[in-house]
Copies of this chain bind each other. A is one copy, B any other.
Amino acid sequence: MSETENNSIMSEVQYHAITEFSKTIEMFSLTPSEALLFSTLYIEGEPMTLDEMSEALAKSKTSMSTGIRSLLDLNLVERVWKKGVRKDLYTANSDLFNKFMSSYIHKWLDAANRQKHSLEETRLLLKKERKEIRTGEADHLEEKLNEMINFHCLISKAFSEIDPSTSDS
């Protein structure tokens, strides 16, 4: 088997891996481009420069720059320094499961709690005003608010259970 054939098989395998894994990453509510970028960085293993990413994905360096910034914000990628290399180098966090799962779970928990509070305030407003209001409509609304608030509690409970950052082994 020739060197060239080896390379072609390797790139085919790598291409599949990147493409498929990217789809999984998207499910953690990253955009397709962010996911593709992370996936590339992760499978490559070695830290990459913006120019290398640009080359690998055939997209502009500007896209890489903004994409990397998003990934940095999400704490999924970090900048590393290498002796003698002037360009910025970025590498994917290797602790996949904990990083993704816990940040995802917390996004859920934060949002669920925020919205639960908001609904509780709404319920308070209704209760305060409804001394004077005696309609089935108000009853109905209060009932619905209770249901919704309970819904948020159940969500929080469920996601807390699988939060890898609260060691439940």
Q: Chain A: residues with CB nearer than 8 A to chain B?
A: 1, 6, 9-10, 12-14, 16-17, 20-21, 23-24, 27, 42-43, 45, 96-97, 101, 108, 111-112, 115, 118-119, 122, 125-126, 129, 132-133, 135, 137-138, 140-141, 144-145, 147-148, 151-152, 154-155, 158-159, 161-162, 164
Contact = CB atoms under 8 A, between A and B. Distances in A.
Contact of A96 (B13, B111, B135, B147): B147
Which one of A13, A96, A133, A141 has the highest number of Cβ atoms from chain B below 10 Å of its Cβ?
Answer: A13
Number of copies: 2
Contacts of A148: 17, 21, 24, 96
Chain A binding site: helix, strand, loop or mixed by DSSP? helix
Given A1-B132, A27-B108, A151-B97, A43 B144 contact: yes
Contacts of A141: 10, 13-14, 17, 43
Nearest to A45: B140
